[in-house]
Amino acid sequence: MATSSQPPAVFRLIVTGGGTGGHTYPALTAVRTLRERLMRQGRSLDVLWIGSADSLEARVADAEGIAFTAVATGKVRRSSNPLRMVSPANVRDMARVPLGVAQARKAVAHFEAHVVLATGGYVAVPTGLAARMLKVPLVLHEQTVRLGLANRRLAGSASRIAVSSESTLPLLPVSVRALAVVTGDPVRPEVLSGHADKALVALGLAFDRTLPTVYVTGGAQGSQQINDVVGGELAWLLERANVLHQCGASHYEALAARAAALPGRLGMRYHVTPFVGAELPDVLALADLVISRSGAGTLAELTALGKPAVFVPLASAAGNEQAHNARRLEESGAAVALVGDVNGERLRSAVAPLLEDPVRREAMGAAARAQGRPDAADRLVEILLAAASG
């Protein structure tokens, strides 16, 4: 860790966290933003990502040219019944944590980092504990309203706790609230620079532009729940809107068959695709309304863009975090949260007023934008630099 007032020519950052895109991609965005900041100052960035072998974070680090070290990790399988938490699988995995901490301690000591960024997921715990042992500043970033298990475990070891929402602050333990800073959840810059016309061309869409466009997504893998409810209401939706439906590879054939049975006029207004990749920024620019899950990354993108949304939270999400995320935005007038069992009637009652009234959509979009933090990555970088300098 640097001790002189002169900033180091090479800034050394350890990143830990992953398991899901919600933990991985904010970390990657922070790395890219920090690298660009340092380059403008004539400095460089050296990064080591510590995570699980054969994981999303390992693949992302490899694609980005970031050095990667794998450590042993232990996953806690949650249950509402405390007795079920003491399961053979949990006990076995928890026994791996000391090995992971020893491996992480060796990696942290060898790398001589100026600061460690932990973005959550059970994989972050060994490196976070190693940072505390070696007195390396530790910055936590929490994407959801409530601290996840890993960040709760590490909160007492942190130099700073970056949170994505003001709503998180009163939920933090009193002992660490003074360490908390609201940064928002980092959003990839390219998401904010889409063009609607490019989506029409790239996907070959012949939409009726006098109608609003609804983007339906259940995430990269798709959502059986969302696909079933939207699929059952397709004719109703298409009388009122264009629908661009990202359904996931395993659901595509069934929905494509349903699309083929639509009358020609309505069929022109429906586009179903297994996956939306590089064209996502343009798809989001095209969308007047989004129907989706309510993961932290989705919320960060939609609020930064000011998009009205109807959320169908994933009921099995850890700690019911998606429901908390959705309700928070609903309370601010930035979205509609369909929590629990969702059927066609509930979907229609949520969507109809928004499709029929562009002024209402605009008001919801403005409320969403008020919750967004498009500069979250820059804010988080400021926290990392401040923590490193003491």
Helix axes 124-133, 97-111, angle to 10 degrees: 60
Question: How far apart are the C-alpha atoms of 357 and 350, rounded to whole Å?
Answer: 12
Instruction: Band the pLDDT of 146: cuts 50, 70, 90.
Output: confident
Residue 82: its pLDDT value, please? Answer: 52
Residue 221: its pLDDT value, please? Answer: 85
Instruction: Band the pLDDT of 77: cuts 50, 70, 90.
Output: very low
Q: What is the dihedral angle through the alpha carbons of 191, 288, 210, 246, rounded to the nearest 10 degrees?
A: 70
Q: What percentage of residues in the chain have a pLDDT greater than 90?
A: 85
pLDDT per residue as tens digits for the range 11-26: 999 999 999 888 999 9
Are residues 310 and 291 in contact, defined by beta-carbon separation less than 8 angstroms? Answer: yes
pLDDT per residue as tens digits for the range 79-129: 454 555 455 655 555 566 789 999 999 999 999 999 999 999 999 999 999
Mean pLDDT over all residues of the chain? 92
DSSP state of 28: H
Rg (CA), the chain: 22
Enumerate domains of the chain plus CATH numbers: 10-186+374-389 (3.40.50.2000), 189-371 (3.40.50.2000)
Element (H, E) at 282: helix 280-286
